Chains A and B, each alone.
Chain A
Amino acid sequence: MNRFKKIVLDNGIRLYVHGDKTMKKYSVSYTVDYGSSGEFYKFNYDGKDYEVLPGCAHFLEHMLLEQSKYGNLYHYFKDLNYFANATTDLQSTSFYFTGTKKVKSSIYKLIDSLENPVFDTKAIKEVSPAIEEETKIFDNRPEVQAMLLSLLDSYKGFNFEHESLSPIGTEETTKMLDYDMLKLCYDAFYSDDRKIIVITGPLDETDMINYIKRIYSKIRKHKNKTKLFIPDDLVSVRKREDKLVKNTVESDMLIINYKEQLKDFSVFEINSYLNYLYNYKFSAKTNFYEDNKKDGILLFNYGIDVFYAFQNEIKSLFNMNFYFYITDKDKFIKAFEKEIKINKFDEKDFELYKRARLSDILVSDEDKYHYYNCLANNIILYREEIDYVDSIKNLSYDRFIEFYNSLKLDNRVITLLTKEG
């Protein structure tokens, strides 16, 4: 398993480096804690309040490298046979590549492009059409839209809501993004304390750290002058709600979203115990699943997602979404709510779960580069200070019960996605 050396640079940027001479490729990622979710839409920057449209983080993700001082940096990377891409999720934007040659100069170009953007109105016009098409992808995928819908629900009550179901905006909002708004978002959120760089490969760690330090010695510091509007009570600010959304699904899809905050549990524990809760109560091997299928109420389940809000500020706030394809909403919700509140578990089963989870981790670690997929966020969330295998062994049944008893299972939003017409 990769172990990272962590350095905080003078400007506050967090750098994680891991050298492994058996690796054939280098993998590099640059992440900024600025994503597409609601809390980034309204903010105070340098003493003034602002409100922006959805999609700014994602638009910047495209523009910073596609319209860099080196031209389209992806073309340069591709000429070097790299795999290169960028993603915007709710909490962060990541730029990354893997490749074998000229890695140091590519790291320089990546950092230089992101720290010294050159985009202008003309560049925005060039990038916009492809993004306008990209926004429609969500419209074509009801299941993805369902997840996004729940995600947006997570932020209800304390910040910005937009009728768009897509956190990357719509065709219309994309067209409305202009230079001033994008520049404002860049200045407000690409501050050094929000940035994380992760580099792995057949490298010498000290040498690489010194190289990054040298690059940043010539780049001006980007101080954080931004304040987000985050309420004190993050959970109950959202109201319990049942709603119905018409969409293009073949069968009705039900999304049950709970919002919780558990201050005494690590993200690793929350993730593991929730995973177990779902497996034990609702997965395809359970009586709940079989019985409800047999009764014709449940068609099949679509899994669980856990999303952590404000990962840097408050790691313990999270949303869990359960997805099911169902035929009878009222009967299913009744059965689900009854099941989730039954405080009865099996210690032997919990031990079996630990074995299965250990196996999953060992298999995922077969891919030495899965960190480039996980990127900085997962390292920070799950792996920064812990040895994963030992941590799994240390999960305990008693602690799980404590976790379960700490869940309020009260603040929930239920969304039914149902066929139009």
Chain B
Amino acid sequence: MHKKDIQKINKNTYFYKDDSGVTLYFDLSFIYESTRLNDLKADILSKYMCTINSIYKTRKDIDDKRRELYNIGLSSYSSNYDKDSLLYFTFNIIDPKAVKDDYFDDAIEFISDIFYKPYFIDGKLDHDRLDTIKKDIYNVYINMVKEFNYDSYNRYKKVVQKEAISNRFLYDSKEELEEELNSITDKDLIDFYNMLLESHYKTVFVGNYTKEQINKVLSKFKFKNSINKKVDYEVTINLKSEYNEYISKDYSQSILYFTYNIKDRKKFSNKCYSMINNHMLNSGNGLLMEILRTKYGLVYSSMSYISPDTGIFAIEAYIDRKNKDKTIEAIKELFSDLHNKKIIDEKLKYAKSKIKETVYLSDELPSNVFGKVNSYIYRDDLTDSGLIRKINQITTNDILELFDNLENENIYFYVGDKDE
């Protein structure tokens, strides 16, 4: 994916022509003030729009139409930051040429109906559907924050974000979430929808579209206001230097979790951080596996995370509880290696060669291309050539400095106490 190939069709609309696959991607995004209540409204409303409609009055009607249109993809998600949130609608259309069926106009008509003809009848929504959506959100949330969650991402959210962002994303209790869900009225959701129509942010096309096809889409989706604003993706989390222990009677395996604030999170771009994490620390040749698994046999699985958005660096190790002290010693050894010029030199060299190959290969999958185009358009992330240039500039001293500047060591030990 090259920057020069991204066409700017108008102020907020972009197109990247990719003829390697059969999927035509198209996404619309909207910007709104980031509050917990707004995020909840966005979640409910977008799910509602994708599952009931004033033309397709039941979920089955929508599903049948989707299948008729070769499983046309409708999905939505929101990304939430300190001040702004973004709600995305993504539509995937199978290229009519691939199925030898000229159904593109029908597909766009359907997407337009989904977007512009929500089921708001006389200021009312369908409450059966709405209740189901609310119940689903509730169940997913409860599952996500259950006390001892082994899913890495959710645990990360729970542990790090809950401690640090004082409930910006999480609720104190099931009752609090239930109360907030129930407080949202039909009028709130209709107002939120109308607000979205005035808050278009960007439109992105990726795939083997013809000019005519893009024009057809744009003629259906016209927004009076498209907002030009730089979203601030950073979230501030200040960890406390402390040690915490949680005991679970449900599990036998334990997790040791080390987290740190990165002093200068702007030091590298997102993609460079991810190269350091994926190829110097996490890969089969990374330091974690080398020390914790190969050298000491303490783990089968161990991961590290670097998040420039939150400014957090974390290491987790799944261990037997009796190996806690040994693992802490091994992680100290790992940190000593992260300050060792010779070792960092060798790991950085490996990571650079690996990332170049990854970049070279990554355009083979259309969904990767879509992701890369989006991260460039939304986050001003590096394009492939920019990334190669940047990583060539990273020196061993830069990496040493990064690990020298970790602060606020915060350790969690989840003790799996099932069989004790």
Contact = CB atoms under 8 A, between A and B. Distances in A.
A24 B284 contact: no
A352 B60 CA distance: 12
Given A74-B284, A363-B23, A352 B132 contact: no
Given A137-B253, A358-B70, A250 B143 contact: yes
Interface in A5-38: 23-25
Nearest to B68: A352
B177 to A, nearest CB: 15
Size category of the binding interface on chain B: 35 or more
Nearest to A249: B250
A367 interface: yes
Given A81-B353, A129-B297, A290-B132, A136 B139 contact: no
B71 A360 contact: yes
A394 interface: no
B251 interface: yes
Contacts of B361: 24-25, 100
B320 interface: yes
B252 interface: yes
A75 B301 contact: no
Interface string B131-143: 0100110010011
B367 interface: yes
A323 B367 CA distance: 30
Most chain B CB within a 10 A radius of its CB, from A356, A359, A365 = A359
B291 interface: no
A359 B70 contact: yes
A362 B59 contact: no
A78 B284 contact: yes
Contacts of A290: 59, 132
Interface in B183-200: none
Interface string B220-240: 000000000000000000000
A410 interface: no
Interface string A293-331: 110000110000000000000000000000000000000
A210 interface: no
Nearest to A349: B64
B251 A359 contact: no
Interface residues of A, number: 48
A278 to B, nearest CB: 14
Contacts of B94: 359, 362-363
Given A248-B250, A366-B366, A299 B139 contact: yes
Contacts of A24: 360-361, 364
A139 interface: yes
B415 to A, nearest CB: 13
A253 to B, nearest CB: 12
B284 A355 contact: no
A79 B285 CA distance: 8
B363 to A, nearest CB: 9
Contact of B357 (A81, A353, A360, A420): A81
B150 A140 contact: yes
A133 B70 contact: no
A136 to B, nearest CB: 4
Interface of A: 23-25, 72, 74-75, 78-79, 81, 84, 100, 126, 129-131, 133-134, 136-137, 139-141, 248, 250, 284-286, 290, 293-294, 299-300, 349, 352-353, 355-356, 358-360, 362-363, 365-369, 420
19 contacts: A78-B284, A126-B297, A133-B253, A133-B298, A134-B300, A136-B253, A136-B318, A137-B318, A141-B150, A250-B143, A290-B132, A294-B128, A352-B68, A353-B67, A355-B67, A355-B68, A365-B22, A367-B364, A369-B364
Given A81-B353, A356-B70, A368-B364, 8 more contacts: A24-B361, A78-B283, A100-B361, A137-B301, A355-B67, A356-B67, A360-B71, A366-B365
Nearest 5 A/B pairs, CB to CB: A129-B297, A352-B67, A359-B71, A133-B300, A248-B250
